[in-house]
Structure 1
Amino acid sequence: MLCETNKELAAFVTKARAYAKDGKVADYIPALGKADPNDLSIAIQYPNGHCVSAGDVKKKFTLQSTSKVISLALAIMDWGAETVFEYVGMEPTGDPFNSIAKLESNVPAKPLNPMINAGALVVTHMIKGRSMEQKFERLLEFVRELANDQSINYCQEVADSEYRTADLNRALCYFLKQHNRMNENVEQLISLYSKQCAIEMNCLQLAQMGTVFAMDGINPVTSKQVIPKDVARICKTFMVTCGMYNASGEFAIKIGIPAKSGVAGSIMGAVPGRFGIGIFGPALDEKGNSIAGLKLLELLSNHYKLSMF
């Protein structure tokens, strides 16, 4: 068992926290700019209910791009993989997560994968619902089921801040709409996507979600198959190949586990068949990943031989 005591895990956190000084919080979304860059916390959730943690693991943060894995799972469950991947690709990209460049050069215009913003917007658009409100309620209920916690909600302040600063995402939506990748009202979709990114939780809840993916879609608390096994496999594959934006190749070599990051500083990890990981460290590197969080995962992976490869 990895890190049997909180004290053992805390030593790794202390070592990794020193790297936070080289990062910067995501202040281009004003509400996220309020975070303390020195924060670093982690929870490791085992399927038998045992949890090891270090740092302020009950401090809340918003999922941001970590939510892309959840929306992808729900969209595939709604439509099937074949239909979803008619609209979004499966390939990694060397471009930043918010780039429009590949959309312009690909013929036909199709987002390369669901983990970049263009692909995530298409995926969120595909979630079934008679209204944007119903789509969001379905997504939120799905998150609650994965985390086994009905108290989870979204942060209105962050959602509003995201919505006001989402002009690049609006541009992506209009481009995608022009090329028949979506047929949604752009402002309504941006509002939905802003709420999705603003879903709020702590490391304990994030680690619980990671455990569901680690256990092939089974929630070990309820023993329910929350995500079909093949959908969980697809999501974990994207987490390995695209989960860390355009740093995913380096992440696979250095750490080698399925994981997804978000610009609020979260990282959700899923070590196949073993446990889930929830990390929060808001100081980001230049590619938008938690700089101390990545170092923490690297230390743990090297010490405990966690890499799939």
Structure 2
Amino acid sequence: MLMSRENQSSVSEFLLLGLSRQPQQQQLLFVLFLSMYMATVLGNLLIILAISTDSRLHTPMYFFFTNLSFVDVCFSSTTVPKVLTNHILGSQTISFSGCLMQLYFLIVFGDVDNFLLAVMSYDRFVAVCHPLHYTTKMTPQLCALLVAGSWVIANLNALLHILLMAQLSFCADNTIPHFFCDMTPLLRLSCSDTHLNEMMILTEGSLIMITPFVCILVSYICITHAVLRVPSTKGKWKAFSTCGSHLTVVSLFYGTIIAVYFNPSSSHSAEKDTTATVLYTVVIPMLNPFVYSLRNKDMRGALRKVIGRKRFST
């Protein structure tokens, strides 16, 4: 009995197979990941700097967007630096505690991203459907409470799943066919009964993901209904344009999440899942600053000021 327990808990580290075993492809992927990560960090930090230095952008919408940019940097930083480090060191291993820590922060930042998109949709709902009461409804106290609540719920959710994962035993097979520690590959490697973990993912985990998505849908149904009642075409376009950037980001985020986690298992393949996870963990955090800055005149103006100020100072 003691021997079997020792054998089960003997796994102290996992092997991340990454995206490719071909040396030439690994070199190309290293350059791509490094480029995308640098673009993510630089783009989102520029957005945060531009919003913080321009008093015209000190509004609830840009407050939420600042938090979203910060979370995107953290979300990407949870996986990409480890991929780059493993490539440089020629190692594909990650410790058991490091794997759980990576999974914890992935859940936290993924959940906060999810909640912030819902909060931003509510902000757009108030702005379009109740413009005269916008300043009285979206107070600084409410905005801070919504963001703080997002962080608290996300951390509690992540802690629940990590505590359940830490109770599992893992057999001799420690190979994860992925470039980071994700929930599903880890559960497949476990020797223990994972029924409770899977039940919590399907119930509590699904509730965490679906509730904000439903809030976004309801908000945009109300926004669409309000906009369609606007008599002029110009007025309709102006109302919709305030939501365009957010709607684009929502489509990208939930499109990839649904592709990975809400498809029948028969339609899954390692290649499809890996491609989708690269999109929502690496590509989307990089694209968000471009989506918001390209579609927003005030944002473009603030960025020009920041970049111009840097050029002048140098």
What range is the shorter-chain TM-score in? 0.3 to 0.5
Of Structure 1 and Structure 2, which has the larger fraction of its residues in strand? Answer: 1
- Bigger helix fraction: 2
What's the TM-score, normalizing by structure 2? Answer: 0.32
Larger Rg: 2
